[in-house]
């Protein structure tokens, strides 16, 4: 259930910069003091906290734009899903008489 979590945290923390790791390993214990410290670090006015919030807002805009579906604009995720569904429908039509 947690096999991909280490990859996810590496991607989100190191590559994208929108989170902090709380714990690692199979049998790690997380205490409330550690959670409080991580939350305070992300929310305070330190450089790290400011950077996390700035990056999170950038990611929010990217996701919002990817889901946009306006008359003359469709985000890349919506286009990709439409293309996938169209391909499935066309393939299904070829199979069925």
pLDDT tens column, 44-96? 898 989 999 999 999 888 878 777 767 666 677 777 777 888 887 887 777 76
Residue 83 maps to a domain:
yes
Residue 56 maps to a domain:
yes
Range of the domain at 88: 28-95
Q: Are 46 and 83 spatial neighbours (Cβ–Cβ below 8 Å)?
A: no
Given a cut of 70, whether residue 1 has pLDDT beyond it is no
Q: How many separate domains does the chain show?
A: 1
What is the C-alpha separation between 49 and 85, in angstroms, rounded?
41
Residue 9 maps to a domain:
no
Residue 44 maps to a domain:
yes
Q: What is the mean pLDDT of residues 7-15?
A: 86
Closest CA to 38 of 50, 21, 51, 25: 21
How much helix, strand and coil, in percent to the nearest 5, is found in the chain?
65, 5, 30
Q: Which residue has the higher pLDDT, 25 or 8?
A: 8
């Amino acid at each position: 259930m947690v096999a991909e979590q280490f990859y996810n945290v590496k991607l989100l923390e190191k590559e994208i910069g929108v989170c902090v790791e709380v714990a690692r390993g199979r049998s790690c214990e997380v205490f409330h003091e550690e959670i409080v410290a991580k939350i305070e670090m992300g929310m305070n006015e330190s450089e790290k906290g400011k950077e996390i919030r700035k990056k999170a807002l950038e990611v929010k805009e990217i996701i919002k734009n990817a889901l946009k579906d306006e008359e003359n604009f469709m985000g890349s995720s919506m286009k990709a899903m439409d293309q996938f569904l169209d391909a499935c429908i066309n393939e299904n039509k070829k199979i069925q008489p």
